[in-house]
Amino acid sequence: MIAVFNGVNLNMLGQRDPAQYGTLTLGELESKIYEWSRAAGTTARCFQTNHEGALIDHIHECRGWASGVIINPGAWTHYSYALRDALEIVTVPVVEVHLSDINAREEWRRQSVIADVVSHRISGHGADGYHEAIDWLMQETAGV
Ligand code: DQA
């Protein structure tokens, strides 16, 4: 079972800059994630929130059931030490995903405070980045 977390402002996909984030809505992205997971032989549970504490509660809670985690924290990536500390407690592999290429944008987006506590990072591959993350987790955990 894979936990998929999307953070702040990702509920606005479809209305944000399509050049950076594509045209899929969050609902469409999550449908693809469910399909890709099924095809890979696993199940995903998706959660999005604009509230940092709610995300952290869900990260704590997934420790009871997830064998892998995919997270796109949105702007929290760049400054949330609370999120970083929550991910540090997770013992299963965590993949950091960004739709846009955070290294090719504003200087402040290049910093990820979670980079040192995740197992793998994917940036700039759009929605396909989540597909790659599922496949990476399946290989890493040999059947999540
Ligand atoms: C993002 C990149 C972040 O810099 C930004 O704040 C987001 C989305 C991405 O998926 O490309 O909200 O994480």
Burial of 51 (0-12, 13-18, 19+ CB in 10 A): exposed
Under CATH, to which class is 2-141 assigned? alpha beta
Q: What is the mean pLDDT of residues 108-119?
A: 98
Average confidence (pLDDT) over 32-61: 98
Q: Has residue 41 got a pLDDT over 80?
A: yes
Buried b (16+ CB within 10 A) or exposed e, 75-108: ebbbebeebbebbeebebbbbbbbbbebeeeeee
Q: What is the mean pLDDT of residues 127-135?
A: 98
Best mutation site among 23, 33, 101, 102 for ligand 1 pocket (most ligand atoms within 8 Å of CB): 102
Q: What is the mean pLDDT of the chain?
A: 97
- Give the pLDDT of residue 142: 80
Res 144 pLDDT > 50: no
CA 128–ligand 1 middle distance (angstroms): 15
Catalytic, 98? Answer: yes
Specify whether 125 is catalytic.
Answer: no
In the chain, % of residues over pLDDT 90: 97
